[in-house]
Amino acid sequence: MDRFAVMRTLVSVAHAPSFSAAAAELNISPSLVSRHVADLESQLGVRLVNRTARSVSLTPDGTQYAEFAERILVEIEDQDAQLTQTKASAEGRLSIISPKWIGLQELGLAIGAFRHEHPGIRVRLQLGGISDRLHDFLDQGFDIAFHARHPADSRVKVRRITDLPFMLAASQDYLALRGTPESPGDLGEHDLLTHTGDPVWHLGEGDDATRLRVQNPAVTANAYSIIEQMIELGCGIGHVPRTLVQHSERVDEVVEVLPDLPPPTRSLYAVHAPGDATPERVKIFLNFITDWFKHSRPA
């Protein structure tokens, strides 16, 4: 029995809904997956997997051993990468997950520039689908997850990448028709456009800080790009990333609302796995992306 092969099989079974799905991931037959699990159960003397006609699930012992096996396999992979040093360590696959609004703005440009400098690193980027549980991206097979709020979790490593300024904005046509708000209290008389993740607007800082819970918004969407389009169309006042407006083809038609009370700037964070043996490709990407946002970000 190849111990590492059966450990890899169990790890795949832990993340898959069935033996067939695990087999497809490993590019082997379902029967071989079943045999690997059975061999490992025989070797350990415990049942690792609950089998039914439609699905498989791990027993408590199986969950514990799969977590152990995954740690061992990751350490082996990282040690191999360190031993091969510069050329080999700058190659391989890098999987990244990001909220849509961050990925659609500038992350694509940054990754394109990264690929030009590091053609040996193949990038897989997924926009959207980030779990509320911060560390789930690791279980989903991603190396890096981007977040716009500080991810306080000791089970991951966090690097701050750049600032993400926000603004309140409306079209000139909308303000000509409905009037320009002069204070946060005036916003209640307007059509407001909100992101589903931002039901409360924070305006200004320090003594001027105001907290506004948006009641009965005219439009609610889960994508800032949609809200920015609604702003351009004169549908109301929206709370959006400033770069979305700046990069719009109709930027001259959009006006900042309450410019003396801008929303607080957020930070973009990159989150990756804990431990001292961070893969070289992850280190290279994080260093590159931090420098790109500092020096090469479009004005």
6-20 confidence digits (pLDDT tens)? 888 888 888 887 888
Distance between alpha carbon 279 and the CA centroid of its chain, in Å? Answer: 19
Ranges of the chain with pLDDT below 70: 1, 53-54, 81-90, 104-105, 132, 134, 153-154, 298-299
Q: What angle do CA 250, 217, 212 make, to 5 degrees?
A: 95
Token pair recorded at residue 170: 């409306």
Does 91-164+267-295 match 166-264 in CATH topology?
yes
pLDDT of amino acid 259: 95
Q: 126: which strand partners? A: 97
CA 119/CA 188 separation, integer angstroms:
52
What is the model's pLDDT at position 189? 94
Class at the top of the CATH hierarchy for domain 91-164+267-295: alpha beta
- At 147 the pLDDT is 87
Distance (Å, whole) CA 252 – CA 245: 9
- Where do runs of H (alpha helix) occur along 179-237? 224-232
Q: Which two tokens stand for residue 82?
A: 């360190």
pTM of the model: 0.62
> Which residue type sits at 256?
E
β-strand partners of 203:
210
The length of the chain in residues reads 299
Measured distance between the N- and C-terminal CA atoms of the chain, rounded to whole angstroms:
58
Domain boundaries, the chain: 3-81, 91-164+267-295, 166-264
- CA 58, CA 50: separation in Å to the nearest integer? 6
User: Position 276: which residue type?
Assistant: D
Cβ-contact 239, 168 below 8 angstroms: yes
∠ Cα 212 169 179 (to 5°): 85
C-alpha to C-alpha distance for 146 and 285, rounded to whole angstroms: 13
3-state secondary structure (DSSP) of residue 78: helix
Whether CATH 1.10.10.10 fits 3-81 = yes
pLDDT number for residue 255: 95
For 166-264, the fitting CATH number among 2.60.40.10, 3.40.190.10, 3.40.50.300, 1.10.10.10 is: 3.40.190.10
Q: How far apart are CA 207 and CA 6, in angstroms?
A: 61
CA distances from 212 to 186, 202, 239, 263 (A): 11, 6, 12, 11
